Chains A and B, each alone.
Chain A
Amino acid sequence: MFKKLPIRRAVVVLAISCLILSLTGCGGAKTGADAGNSASTEARDYYKVGVITSLSGAEVQGGNITKYGYDLWAETVNNKGGIKVGDKGYQVKLVYADDQSDPAAGANAVERMITSEKVDFILGPYTSGVTKAVAPILDKYKVPMITGSAESPSIWTQKFKYTFGSVPAADLTAISPLETLSKLPNPPKTVAVLGVNDAFSKAVAEAFKASAEKNGITVVKFDVVPAGTDFTPLISAIKQLNPDVLAVGGHENEHMEVIKASKSLGFMPKAFVMHYGITNPDFSKNLGKDADYTFGAAVWTPDLDLKDDLFGSAQDYVKAYKDKYNAIPDYTAAACSATGESFSAALAKIGAKPPLSDQQREELTKTLEQIEVNTFYGPIKFATDGNWYHDNVGLKALVIQMINGEQVIVGPEAMKAKDPVYPVPAFNVR
């Protein structure tokens, strides 16, 4: 008997520690390179660009959308002769690092990428959580990064010097759907807010709550839950409260689960309000008609009238994206592609040829702060002070509604293509 107990304990301890390891991602060994010595000394006539994003783990879907966006930029710029510096064009070569959808693994991966791959600059993560973990590493090695995706406002309040973002923070965009609904002739009176406990989703849920309170909508429930929670009991409880609107801060997976659970419990509010994720092709494909009429927020849609020299018009971009990936790009894909254009413009302005020295990277960072680049995605100009330091805050927050599997702009008043449908038809009469 006495022999068994220690083995059992050891197994339990080991099992639990392995489990923790599996949940937090297996951190690789740190490469012990010294800071400040990260610039490349090899001679090359192309830019080595690091891409850090979620290529496995829970956020692999969104991670691949960012990858598609960055890849399309690299391909387009290379086909047009590369980044023009002086009178010569330099090709772009992307190097990928997988953050496994985990902040700690992301920080390790980016450190490895900087010290052993010696990238010139970095195109940033899909998730806000990873962005926040990676930003201090960039400050340590002084390598500039722009994320074409991360949206949590808490990234920008920390004023990281080398981290930039081309999508406005969620607290600037998530307020728009409920505001638009509150201005309707028959506005919603009550809302239940659910959020998933990650940097982005939580910020969205908080913004939903704040905008509801500001616009006179009573918040009957506010719950921020850990990732992986079964939504059924939560939605049962919400059903009893019978709110006009259910607002959810999450990603495509959670959005799908919420709609499936609501339908299976016979819960049909007057509207579902969500944020990023509903424009993900899988959302409409998997839910079919149930995906329709969901409200969301966006900063770019394929029908906007914008253009630039690299991609042409927004519609040209959509076509190029569709030809390559057989899907319609959402604002994250567009922002990622446009992100590369900011780097191109800044490199051209300072005339920095590859490989970049430490000093040139410093100059590049300074130039990113100064320039404004007009792209097919909209103007990119990073804030240089305040609560959204280094975030591209200038874009208009659009309210979208999914109709027949396509995103339609329904707000704000000045931008809308159609009036919002509210209350929305029930699942069984679509």
Chain B
Amino acid sequence: MGLFMQTLINGILIGGIFITIAVGFSISYGVMHIVDFAVGEWIMLGAFTAFWLNMYTNVDPLLLIPFIALFFALIGYLFQPVIQKVVNIKHRSAAMMALAFTFGLSTLIRGSALTLWGFNNRNLITVLSEKNVDLFGITVPAIRAGATVFSILVTAAFAYFLYRTKTGITIRAAAENKTVAGLMGIDGHRISRLVYSIYVGLTAMSGVFIGSIFSVFPDMGLRYTAFAFFVVVAGGMGSFSGAIVAGLMLGLISSFVSVYMGGAYVFLILFFILYLILVFFPKGILGKGW
């Protein structure tokens, strides 16, 4: 029973890290219809920014999170028109070109990071690092618990924004049907820009947690690109609640398969489930994607 509970908690904690990334990624996909391959690189840049700022200012990386979120939101806001330009090219497969563009962007960012900062592994130490909380005999790593709680709060705030504010409603309208939303007077470009900016900010912010749970190095984002795809496809493209459910599912599957079947089967089972979802629930597990 102890092991079962521990595995359950671990699963939720692993999934918790993905939720924020998945939600941003999914909404940005829903609105812009662009799969951003650079998702892992935003995570990496967020983690590196926290590392450098922490080194020079000695402020705890967790306290730097609001600044990093704003800073990267600004970068996203300034950068989005470049991607938009690629999408708007009069070409039969503009979406594909945008995809190739973000793929190139991801390689470029990773390569530049490797050249600029070298291959060394860096440690991001926060006040929660390496501490743990004992909860009825279950050991909970403090930094992971912190990441999950933070992730839930941010996601809740984001949900409030999407469902209760006027801008949020226009975003959802644009995600649902850009053409009709456009006919209703919603400025698609402005919305895309806003959404991309929020997505980059959220993702870079998650990088701070990921960097302190694992470590900071130029290739650190790669595995999250794969996971982001899993979450978005499993949750239904563009679906907000689907992304949350799929994020948690990803964590729980990883955790239970690792413990009860063996770590060797984690990816096999994960992607087999993804296959089943694509075959039987092509709109995502909640049926809310498109």
Which residues of A pack against B, CB within 8 Å?
A: 4, 7-8, 10-12, 14-16, 18-19, 22-23, 56-58, 60-61, 63-64, 194, 197, 223-226, 228-230, 232-234, 236-237, 239-240, 252-253, 256-257, 260-261, 263-266, 282, 285-287, 290
The 7 tightest CB contacts between A and B, nearest first, are A225-B263, A264-B141, A233-B258, A60-B119, A233-B255, A286-B123, A237-B259
Q: Is the interface of B mostly helix, strand, loop or mixed?
A: helix
Contact status of A286 and B14, CB under 8 A, knowing A8-B237, A260-B130, A265-B132:
no
How long is the Cα–Cα vector from A58 to B264 in the complex, in angstroms?
Answer: 19
Report yes or no: A286 in contact with B215, Cβ–Cβ below 8 A.
yes
* Residue in B223, B264, B278 whose CB lies within 8 Å of A223: B264
* Residue in B100, B114, B141, B255 whose CB lies within 8 Å of A60: B114
Contact with A along B217-233 (1 / 0, CB 8 A): 11100110110010001
Report yes or no: B259 in contact with A233, Cβ–Cβ below 8 A.
yes
Contact status of A61 and B119, CB under 8 A, knowing A226-B263, A233-B255, A256-B215:
yes
Contact status of A11 and B35, CB under 8 A, knowing A230-B254, A265-B141:
yes
Report yes or no: B99 in contact with A14, Cβ–Cβ below 8 A.
yes
Which residues of B pack against A, CB within 8 Å?
A: 2-3, 6-7, 10-11, 13-14, 33, 35, 37, 95-96, 99-100, 103, 106, 110-111, 114, 119-123, 130-132, 134, 139, 141-144, 213-215, 217-219, 222-223, 225-226, 229, 233, 237, 254-256, 258-259, 262-264, 266-267, 278, 290
13 extra A-B contacts, CB within 8 A, seeds A58-B222, A224-B263, A265-B132: A8-B237, A18-B99, A56-B114, A63-B119, A226-B264, A230-B254, A232-B141, A232-B144, A233-B255, A240-B6, A256-B121, A286-B122, A287-B123
Report yes or no: B264 in contact with A16, Cβ–Cβ below 8 A.
no
A252 (CB) vs chain B CBs: closest residue: B121
- A-B contact list, 18 entries, CB within 8 Å: A8-B237, A14-B96, A15-B229, A18-B103, A56-B110, A56-B111, A57-B219, A63-B119, A226-B263, A226-B267, A228-B222, A232-B255, A233-B10, A260-B215, A263-B130, A264-B130, A265-B132, A286-B122
Determine how close the nearest CB of chain A comes to the CB of B196; give it in whole angstroms.
17
For residue A58, which residues in chain B have a CB less than 8 angstroms away from its CB? Answer: 219, 222
Contact status of A229 and B263, CB under 8 A, knowing A7-B95, A15-B99, A286-B215:
yes
Contact status of A16 and B229, CB under 8 A, knowing A223-B263, A260-B130, A265-B132:
yes
How long is the Cα–Cα vector from A263 to B10 in the complex, in angstroms?
Answer: 15
For residue A263, which residues in chain B have a CB less than 8 angstroms away from its CB? Answer: 130
Report yes or no: B259 in contact with A282, Cβ–Cβ below 8 A.
no
Report yes or no: A61 in contact with B121, Cβ–Cβ below 8 A.
yes
Report yes or no: B139 in contact with A22, Cβ–Cβ below 8 A.
no
Determine how close the nearest CB of chain A comes to the CB of B278; give it in whole angstroms.
8
How long is the Cα–Cα vector from A261 to B215 in the complex, in angstroms?
Answer: 12
For residue A261, which residues in chain B have a CB less than 8 angstroms away from its CB? Answer: 141
How long is the Cα–Cα vector from A58 to B37 in the complex, in angstroms?
Answer: 18
Report yes or no: B142 in contact with A264, Cβ–Cβ below 8 A.
yes
* Residue in A23, A234, A256 whose CB lies within 8 Å of B226: A23
Contact status of A234 and B259, CB under 8 A, knowing A253-B215, A266-B132, A286-B215:
yes
Report yes or no: B10 in contact with A18, Cβ–Cβ below 8 A.
no
B11 (CB) vs chain A CBs: closest residue: A233
For residue B266, which residues in chain A have a CB less than 8 angstroms away from its CB? Answer: 225-226, 229
B261 (CB) vs chain A CBs: closest residue: A223
How long is the Cα–Cα vector from A136 to B214 in the complex, in angstroms?
Answer: 37
A196 (CB) vs chain B CBs: closest residue: B263
Determine how close the nearest CB of chain A comes to the CB of B129; give it in whole angstroms.
8
Report yes or no: B119 in contact with A64, Cβ–Cβ below 8 A.
yes
For residue B262, which residues in chain A have a CB less than 8 angstroms away from its CB? Answer: 223, 225
How long is the Cα–Cα vector from A11 to B254 in the complex, in angstroms?
Answer: 26
For residue B131, which residues in chain A have a CB less than 8 angstroms away from its CB? Answer: 264
* Residue in B114, B142, B226, B254 whose CB lies within 8 Å of A233: B254
Report yes or no: A228 in contact with B223, Cβ–Cβ below 8 A.
yes
For residue B99, which residues in chain A have a CB less than 8 angstroms away from its CB? Answer: 11, 14-15, 18
How long is the Cα–Cα vector from A143 to B112 in the complex, in angstroms?
Answer: 33
For residue A290, which residues in chain B have a CB less than 8 angstroms away from its CB? Answer: 130
Contact status of A19 and B225, CB under 8 A, knowing A223-B262, A256-B215:
yes
Interface hub of A14, A252, A264, A282 (most chain B Cβ within 10 A): A264
For residue A285, which residues in chain B have a CB less than 8 angstroms away from its CB? Answer: 123
For residue A225, which residues in chain B have a CB less than 8 angstroms away from its CB? Answer: 258, 262-264, 266
How long is the Cα–Cα vector from A182 to B220 in the complex, in angstroms?
Answer: 37
How long is the Cα–Cα vector from A198 to B3 in the complex, in angstroms?
Answer: 29
For residue B110, which residues in chain A have a CB less than 8 angstroms away from its CB? Answer: 56
How long is the Cα–Cα vector from A253 to B134 in the complex, in angstroms?
Answer: 27
For residue A12, which residues in chain B have a CB less than 8 angstroms away from its CB? Answer: 233, 278
Report yes or no: B123 in contact with A234, Cβ–Cβ below 8 A.
no
For residue A230, which residues in chain B have a CB less than 8 angstroms away from its CB? Answer: 14, 254, 258
For residue B132, which residues in chain A have a CB less than 8 angstroms away from its CB? Answer: 264-266
How long is the Cα–Cα vector from A266 to B6 in the complex, in angstroms?
Answer: 13
A194 (CB) vs chain B CBs: closest residue: B263
B93 (CB) vs chain A CBs: closest residue: A10
How long is the Cα–Cα vector from A10 to B290 in the complex, in angstroms?
Answer: 13
How long is the Cα–Cα vector from A380 to B123 in the complex, in angstroms?
Answer: 38
Report yes or no: A240 in contact with B3, Cβ–Cβ below 8 A.
yes
For residue B121, which residues in chain A have a CB less than 8 angstroms away from its CB? Answer: 61, 252-253, 256, 282, 286
Contact status of A237 and B3, CB under 8 A, knowing A18-B37, A61-B121, A286-B122:
yes
For residue B7, which residues in chain A have a CB less than 8 angstroms away from its CB? Answer: 233, 236-237
B223 (CB) vs chain A CBs: closest residue: A228
Determine how close the nearest CB of chain A comes to the CB of B263; give it in whole angstroms.
3
